[in-house]
């Protein structure tokens, strides 16, 4: 919420693949290749919420030891999806505690017989604490709801006679405490004249509904037993040559050879190397540009890695292909530069939220959202307030969208997180989203770019649209004078109920949202060519929150509804974004490119 000190950490820049610099080992996105197979486990799972008073019946009765249906009734639960809005049982919508998921799988015979094969179970995300059993064996625990985790289960499936079925049981706890990300508290209500014994509520300190469950895909995949474990890539530009620095880690054997080939978009090899690390030089390289900025945006090479190894079981090969965009990102006192050219963020803040699926990953929704981003002329978005599915980042790479990738620490204000983020990946600028006082802000001294949220004429001086320009100018001038760093207006907006109209504008109507945006835009235009390097509307679409007196079926600051239909402000923003794109594209002489069709781009 704007009136709290809502802060979040984010690292940003285009191209997020292979960015785990400084980490030991990695977790490559599961990919099919000549040496690797995938088996998706999306679809219907069996499900039960543990409604017992202490929420621990499942552990006391060891529900993981037998098929879930044998320990009580189960529901059908689609994966991926949040469990909250699926059933008609209101208790499930607000459930806090352990829920149980189960799925049986038949494995291809080769996976269970071939000792050259490594079988991995990978869970795209489980919000927010998960324990995983395979055939009743405790296999994996994971904390944190927005990142993938996995376990090598070969020794569980390659034992003796063929196991006819693999039973995967996952217990997930969505309780938020002061030590979870995001944090929350559990409050016991002890007044027995008002609340039954043991009654508690989950308090959260952020403005989105705590959807939970298996919200991203679950899958099994294979690699050879000696395999490519991780590939780290950084890129640079030297005169007209592109540089691709790679580092590859291998697990399973020390006796191996590695070949790395860089292929262009036409599959032509443009550079190659051997060994675990090296630099590939591409004369006359095509650079990765954000779309709208250049006539040939989002150019991706493929780094094809081939591993050959000698193992005690004989020779083994592994293949992995990583998309690579060659680009540079830099920040000066007043500019954000991509490939040496000033980049202006004209984009949106998003949530992964929609309809009954909650935060469940959904391809139709993702493609629709990307179509809307292009319709709007948005060149960037922030993954507020947590990391999104890897498939989303891959889409951004392919479509030329710049991402501010947010960590799930919404509400935290610890400057040392920046040092940690930079240690993991020194190649990208880092920011900290703040709405506090410029003089007292704890994050600003450490960031590369300052991100400011302000809600003038909404949470402050509400109704007084005439004050926005003055207050915005004061905000920008104060922050810039103190820190001399480029600034992004990372949030601004107004609650708007689609279909509410009033002219002259009143709060909550489409006219008010439009007028508020217009006033902000006048203020932004005053500083846009100086040191303000971006603007991100709050929010792309309406989204669900906890119930409160200030939220009517969720947060309604979207320029699209939750069903992705435009409010009037969407058309206003579209005009503006395409106008800015027209002014800032490079080189200025480029012809209209295909992604600009049917747009007001001239
Ligand atoms: C903010 C928060 C965001 C809220 C928004 C609002 O500053 O970052 O999560 O939804 O304000 O609408 O109050």
Question: pLDDT tens digits, residue range 520-579?
Answer: 999 999 999 899 999 999 999 999 999 999 999 999 999 999 999 999 999 999 999 999
According to DSSP, residue 304 is labeled E
- pLDDT confidence of residue 586: 77
The two structure tokens encoding residue 380: 């960037």
Give 131's strand partners.
Answer: 141, 171
Which of ligand 1's atoms lies nearest the C-alpha of 385? 9
Q: Are 403 and 396 in contact (CB under 8 A)?
A: yes
Helix (H, G, I), strand (E, B) or coil at 214: coil
- pLDDT confidence of residue 436: 78
- pLDDT confidence of residue 24: 56
Query: Phi and psi of 100, rounded to 5°?
Result: -120, 130
Pocket around ligand 1 at a 6 A CB cut-off: 1-2, 6, 206-207, 385, 435, 453, 491, 538, 555, 557
Span from the CA of 82 to the centroid of ligand 1 (angstroms): 22
Burial 279-308 (b: 16+ CB within 10 A, else e): ebebeebbbbbbbbbbbebbbbbebbbbbe
- pLDDT confidence of residue 95: 98
- From 7, 204, 207, the mutation candidate for ligand 1 (largest count of ligand atoms within 8 A of CB) is 207
Q: Give DSSP secondary structure letters for 518-586.
A: HHHHHHHHHHTTTTEEEEEES-SB-B----BTTBSSSB---SB-TT-PBPHHHHHHHHHHHHHHHHH-S
CB atoms within 10 A of CB 216: 28
CB atoms within 10 A of CB 548: 11
Residue nearest atom 13 in ligand 1 by C-alpha distance: 1
Please state, in angstroms and rounded to a whole number, the distance separating the CA atoms of residues 371 and 373.
Answer: 5
Residue nearest atom 9 in ligand 1 by C-alpha distance: 207
Span from the CA of 514 to the centroid of ligand 1 (angstroms): 18
CB atoms within 10 A of CB 254: 8
Residue nearest atom 7 in ligand 1 by C-alpha distance: 2
Please state, in angstroms and rounded to a whole number, the distance separating the CA atoms of residues 82 and 79.
Answer: 8
- From 3, 4, 6, the mutation candidate for ligand 1 (largest count of ligand atoms within 8 A of CB) is 6
- pLDDT confidence of residue 557: 98
Q: Are 169 and 132 in contact (CB under 8 A)?
A: yes
Please state, in angstroms and rounded to a whole number, the distance separating the CA atoms of residues 256 and 123.
Answer: 29
- pLDDT confidence of residue 593: 40
- pLDDT confidence of residue 546: 96
Span from the CA of 1 to the centroid of ligand 1 (angstroms): 4
Among the residues of 379-509, which ranges form H helices?
A: 390-399, 416-424, 468-483
- pLDDT confidence of residue 164: 64
Residue 367 C-beta-side C-alpha neighbours within 13 Å: 2
Span from the CA of 2 to the centroid of ligand 1 (angstroms): 5
Span from the CA of 12 to the centroid of ligand 1 (angstroms): 20
The two structure tokens encoding residue 12: 């940003």
pLDDT tens digit string along 389-441? 999 999 999 999 999 999 988 877 666 888 888 998 889 999 988 877 899 88
Please state, in angstroms and rounded to a whole number, the distance separating the CA atoms of residues 411 and 5.
Answer: 7
Residue nearest atom 12 in ligand 1 by C-alpha distance: 1
pTM reported for the whole predicted model: 0.94
Residue nearest atom 3 in ligand 1 by C-alpha distance: 1
- pLDDT confidence of residue 213: 98
Ranges of the chain with pLDDT below 70: 1-25, 162-164, 413-415, 588-602
The two structure tokens encoding residue 36: 């690797």
């Amino acid at each position: 919420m704007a009136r709290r000190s809502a802060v979040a950490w984010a690292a940003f820049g285009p191209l997020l693949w292979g960015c785990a610099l400084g980490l030991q080992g990695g977790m490559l996105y599961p990919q099919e290749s000549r040496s690797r197979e995938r088996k998706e486990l999306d679809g219907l799972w069996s499900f039960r919420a543990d409604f017992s008073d202490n929420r621990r019946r499942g552990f006391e009765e060891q529900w993981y030891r037998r098929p879930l249906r044998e320990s009580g009734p189960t529901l059908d639960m689609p994966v991926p999806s949040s469990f909250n809005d699926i059933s008609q049982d209101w208790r499930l919508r607000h459930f806090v505690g352990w829920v149980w998921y189960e799925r049986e799988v038949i494995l291809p015979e080769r996976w269970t017989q071939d000792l050259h094969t490594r079988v991995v179970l990978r869970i795209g995300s489980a919000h927010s604490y998960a324990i995983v059993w395979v055939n009743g064996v405790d296999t994996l625990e994971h904390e944190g709801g927005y990142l993938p985790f996995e376990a090598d289960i070969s020794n569980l499936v390659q034992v003796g006679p063929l196991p006819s079925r693999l039973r995967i049981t996952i217990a997930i706890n969505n309780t938020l405490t002061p030590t979870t990300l995001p944090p929350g508290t559990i409050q016991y209500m002890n007044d027995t004249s008002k609340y039954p014994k043991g009654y508690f509520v989950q308090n959260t300190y952020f403005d989105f509904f705590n959807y939970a469950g298996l919200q991203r895909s679950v899958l099994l995949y294979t690699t050879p037993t000696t395999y490519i474990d991780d590939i780290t890539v950084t890129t640079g530009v030297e005169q007209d040559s592109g540089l691709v620095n790679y580092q590859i880690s291998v697990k399973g054997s020390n006796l191996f050879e590695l070949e790395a080939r860089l292929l262009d978009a036409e599959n032509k090899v443009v550079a190659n190397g051997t060994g675990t690390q090296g630099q590939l030089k591409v004369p006359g390289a095509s650079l990765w540009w954000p779309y709208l900025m250049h006539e040939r945006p989002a150019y991706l090479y493929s780094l094809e890695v081939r591993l050959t190894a000698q193992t005690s079981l004989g020779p083994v090969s592994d293949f992995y292909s990583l998309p690579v965009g060659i680009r540079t990102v830099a920040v000066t006192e007043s500019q954000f530069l991509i490939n040496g050219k000033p980049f202006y963020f004209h984009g949106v803040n998003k949530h992964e939220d929609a309809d009954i699926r909650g935060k469940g990953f959904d391809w139709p929704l993702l493609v629709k959202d990307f179509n809307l981003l292009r319709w709007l002329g948005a060149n960037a978005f922030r993954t507020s307030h947590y990391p999104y599915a890897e498939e989303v980042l891959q889409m951004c790479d392919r479509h030329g969208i710049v991402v501010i990738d947010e960590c799930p620490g919404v509400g935290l204000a610890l400057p040392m997180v920046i040092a940690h983020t930079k240690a993991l990946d020194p190649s990208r600028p880092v920011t900290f989203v703040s709405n506090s006082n410029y003089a007292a802000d704890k994050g600003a001294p450490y960031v590369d770019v300052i991100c400011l949220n302000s809600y003038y004429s909404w949470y402050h001086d509400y109704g007084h649209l005439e004050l926005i320009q003055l207050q915005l100018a004061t905000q920008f001038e104060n922050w810039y004078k103190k820190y001399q760093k480029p600034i992004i207006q990372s949030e601004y907006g107004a609650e708007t109920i689609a279909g509410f109209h009033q002219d002259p504008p009143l709060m909550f109507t489409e006219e008010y949202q439009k007028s508020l945006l217009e006033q902000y835009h006048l203020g932004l235009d005053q500083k846009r060519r100086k040191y303000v390097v971006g603007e991100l509307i709050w929010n792309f679409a309406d989204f669900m929150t906890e119930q409160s007196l200030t939220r009517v079926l969720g947060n309604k600051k979207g320029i699209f509804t939750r069903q992705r239909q435009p409010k009037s402000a969407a058309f206003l923003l579209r005009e503006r974004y395409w106008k800015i794109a027209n002014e800032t594209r490079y080189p200025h002489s480029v012809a209209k490119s295909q992604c600009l069709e049917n747009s007001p781009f001239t």
